[in-house]
């Protein structure tokens, strides 16, 4: 198990029953796993900007740890569902942990992919990374930290802000495509680096999508309202858990 995350304790209610105690432990464990994956993402970006092959190798070596924890958390969720038969908010919390656990593991996968790209860079050649990519590299980790706070506090409003922030990432992804095209047109010999930049952008855009997905799950956990897909259906009304 990944080490404890002290920050979460100030937001954790005092458990009163066996199930509550188990859920507190599970929630702490999930937060710790998420913090670890976010740190991997941040380290992979530093490795990319600095063409630091050693740091990139360290990120890739840590991926197995998240994979192992993802399996362990899933098993614990299923055990509690089977033995404790939770309902209402407790059931929503367990389904939340199951879904978020998988998304967190995917964040680690994307961090590892960025690290793999960083390891392939030639340190003797300075890469002028597109401004849109640099902006994404700042905004996506910030989204991750904002979401982590929303999970810790069960804050639906902050989760909705994360959902909105994902739209900015999508716009930057489109801008990155244009910047890469212009870069390659100016410097045909930079085609390999341009394609690598676009690949990194796609990895970051996907992490942004995962953060938005988790944020939607936070809204459901706190309010019982399903907001997933509502933005795709103009005029649609989000469904509450009771209506499902």
Segment 48-56 shows an average pLDDT of 96
Instruction: Give bridge partners of residue 225 from the DSSP assignment.
Output: 240
Domain C-terminal end among 126, 144, 161: 126
DSSP state of 3: P
Residues 148, 163: one domain?
yes
pLDDT in tens, 103-141: 999 999 999 999 999 999 988 888 899 999 999 999 999
Residue 122 and residue 133 in one domain: no
Q: Are 117 and 48 in contact (CB under 8 A)?
A: yes
CB contact at 8 A, 205 and 169: yes
Task: Give this prediction's pTM.
Answer: 0.86
Q: For 129-139, write each residue's pLDDT tens digit.
A: 999 999 999 99
User: Same structural domain for residues 159 and 50?
Assistant: no
* Domain of residue 59, residue span: 16-126
pLDDT digits (tens, 9 = 90+) for 178-221: 999 999 999 999 999 999 999 999 999 999 999 999 999 999 99
CA distance 119 to 156: 38
Q: Specify the pLDDT at position 240.
A: 52
**Whether 180 and 110 share a structural domain:** no
Q: Which two tokens stand for residue 158?
A: 């902050």
Q: What tokens were used for 61?
A: 């070596």
- Does 1 reside within a domain? no
Q: How many domains, in total, are found in the chain? A: 2
In a domain, 7, yes or no: no
One domain for residues 95 and 162: no
Per the document, the length of the chain is 244
Which two three-digit tokens encode residue 26? Answer: 């599970």
Ramachandran bin of 235, using left for φ above 0, alpha for ψ from -120 to 50, beta for the remaining angles: left
Tell me how far apart the alpha carbons of residues 170 and 132 are, in angstroms, rounded to a whole number: 11
Q: Is residue 10 part of a domain?
A: no
What is the spatial distance between Cα 133 and Cα 137, in angstroms, rounded to a whole number? 6
Mean pLDDT score, 42-68: 97
Residue 1: which residues within 8 A CB-CB, separation 6 or more?
29, 69, 72
- Asked whether residue 3 carries a pLDDT value surpassing 50, the answer given is no
């Amino acid at each position: 198990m990944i080490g404890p995350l002290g920050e979460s304790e100030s937001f954790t209610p005092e458990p009163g029953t066996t199930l509550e105690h188990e859920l507190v432990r599970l929630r702490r464990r999930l937060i710790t796993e998420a913090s670890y994956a976010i740190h991997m993402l941040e380290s992979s970006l530093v490795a990319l900007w600095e063409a630091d092959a050693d740091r990139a190798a360290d990120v890739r070596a840590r991926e197995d740890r998240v994979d192992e924890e993802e399996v362990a958390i899933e098993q614990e969720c299923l055990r509690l569902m089977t033995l404790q038969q939770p309902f209402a908010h407790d059931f929503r919390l367990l389904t939340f942990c199951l879904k978020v656990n998988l998304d967190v593991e995917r964040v680690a996968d994307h961090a590892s992919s960025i690290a793999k790209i960083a390891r392939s860079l030639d340190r003797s050649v300075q890469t002028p990374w597109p401004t849109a990519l640099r902006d994404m590299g700042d905004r996506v980790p910030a989204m991750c930290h904002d979401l982590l706070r929303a999970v810790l506090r069960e804050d639906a409003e902050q989760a909705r802000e994360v959902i909105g922030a994902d739209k900015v990432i999508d716009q930057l992804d489109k801008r990155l495509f244009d910047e890469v095209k212009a870069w390659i047109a100016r410097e045909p010999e930079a085609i390999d680096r341009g394609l690598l930049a676009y690949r990194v952008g796609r990895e970051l855009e996907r992490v942004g999508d995962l953060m938005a997905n988790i944020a939607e799950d936070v809204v459901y956990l706190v309010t019982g309202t399903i907001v997933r897909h509502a933005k795709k259906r103009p005029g649609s009304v989000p469904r509450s858990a009771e209506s499902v």
